[in-house]
Amino acid sequence: MKVQLFIPCYIDQLYSETGFNTIKVLEKAGCEVIYNPNQTCCGQPAFNSGYWDESRSLAKKFLNDFSEDLPIITPSGSCSGYVIHQYPKLFKDNASELEACKRVGTNMYELSDFLVNILKVDDLGASFNHMVTYHDSCSALREYGIKDEPRQLLSKVKGLKLIEMEESETCCGFGGTFAIKNASISTAMVDKKIENAIATGAEYIISTEASCLMNINSFCQKNKLPIKGIHLADILASF
């Protein structure tokens, strides 16, 4: 199956290895991956900050950069959920672009959802000999709607032991500009998240969202804590 790959801007700039690992995983699952190097940000940060005109410009570019006829896969429930549910709000007064949004939205998939529910693949032959716990990103869980899919994939990884933490569905405190505008609250939230994760005895916190992991890892590194965040795609690519 031919698929298009959308790499969120923060993965492109900060976690490029996760992007390459997403390609490895999709190819392992039997996909032919098409990557358009002209792609940029989907516009979510601007939208969430109230800059809808700027977000609309990026949305128009996104619609031009990706075909409506092939699945668009991204290692982010946040970005995929945004494209599916918020693009129509940007073009509610433009019939042709609204229809294009709807067509693209039906072909937009977060990685674990696409693997488990579309390709019907959950065992990629990955191996990761560590104890881990899982963080449910707010956007991935509540806007896009994944919960069981990442766990199903992790259950097939050889050597991996998943231990659920308390309050796995509670926000890590990132929330985009929330972490900047409300730094003290954000810090308290990520502190509690990591406290719960460490209590499981896990060595790694896994998530589908590099933005959450950026927040988690920054706190862990600053405080020299014995745990590290890692993206689901990086685990699945550990062949």
Say how far apart CA 204 and CA 238 lie, in whole Å. Answer: 14
How much is the pLDDT for 18? Answer: 97
HSE-up of 68 (CA within 13 Å, CB side)?
10
10-14 — which CB contacts under 8 Å span 24+ positions?
10/210, 10/211, 10/214, 11/75, 11/76, 11/210, 14/210, 14/214
Say how far apart CA 204 and CA 197 lie, in whole Å. Answer: 8
Q: What is the pLDDT of residues 82-137, one digit of tens each?
A: 999 999 999 999 888 999 999 999 999 999 999 999 999 999 999 999 999 999 99
Contact between 194 and 217 under an 8 Å Cβ cutoff? The reply is: no
How much is the pLDDT for 179? Answer: 85
What is the percent of the chain where pLDDT is above 70?
A: 100
* pLDDT exceeds cutoff 90 at 26: yes
Q: What is the pLDDT of residues 130-166, one digit of tens each?
A: 999 999 999 999 999 999 999 999 999 999 999 999 9
How much is the pLDDT for 236? Answer: 98
Give the model's confidence band at 235: pLDDT under 50 very low, under 70 low, under 90 confident, else very high.
Answer: very high
Can you say whether residue 4 is alpha, beta or left, with left for phi > 0 and alpha for psi between -120 and 50 degrees? Answer: beta
**Residues spanned by CATH 3.40.50.11810 within the chain?**
123-236
How much is the pLDDT for 96? Answer: 86
| φ/ψ of residue 190, rounded to 5 | -70, -30
How much is the pLDDT for 175? Answer: 85
How much is the pLDDT for 177? Answer: 81
Give the model's confidence band at 239: pLDDT under 50 very low, under 70 low, under 90 confident, else very high.
Answer: confident
Q: Which two tokens stand for residue 178?
A: 């929330």
What is the percent of the chain where pLDDT is above 90?
A: 92
* pLDDT exceeds cutoff 90 at 15: yes
How much is the pLDDT for 178? Answer: 87
Q: What is the pLDDT of residues 168-223, one digit of tens each?
A: 999 999 988 888 888 899 999 999 999 999 999 999 999 999 999 999 999 999 99
Q: What is the pLDDT of residues 53-70, one digit of tens each?
A: 999 999 999 999 999 999
Residue range 123-236 in CATH 3.40.50.11810: yes
Three-state secondary structure of the chain: CEEEECCCHHHHHHCHHHHHHHHHHHHHCCCEEECCCCCCCCCHHHHHCCCHHHHHHHHHHHHHHCCCCCCEEECCHHHHHHHHHHHHHHCCCCHHHHHHHHHHHCCEEEHHHHHHHHCCCCCCCCECCCEEEECCCHHHHHHHCCCHHHHHHHHCCECCEECCCCCCCCCCCCCCCHHHHCHHHHHHHHHHHHHHHHHCCCCEEEECCHHHHHHHHHHHHHCCCCCEEEEHHHHHCCC
Say how far apart CA 106 and CA 82 lie, in whole Å. Answer: 13
Which whole-number Å values give the CA distances from 110 to 33, 140, 179, in the listed order? 15, 9, 24
Say how far apart CA 136 and CA 168 lie, in whole Å. Answer: 6
How much is the pLDDT for 176? Answer: 81
How much is the pLDDT for 127? Answer: 98
How much is the pLDDT for 168? Answer: 96
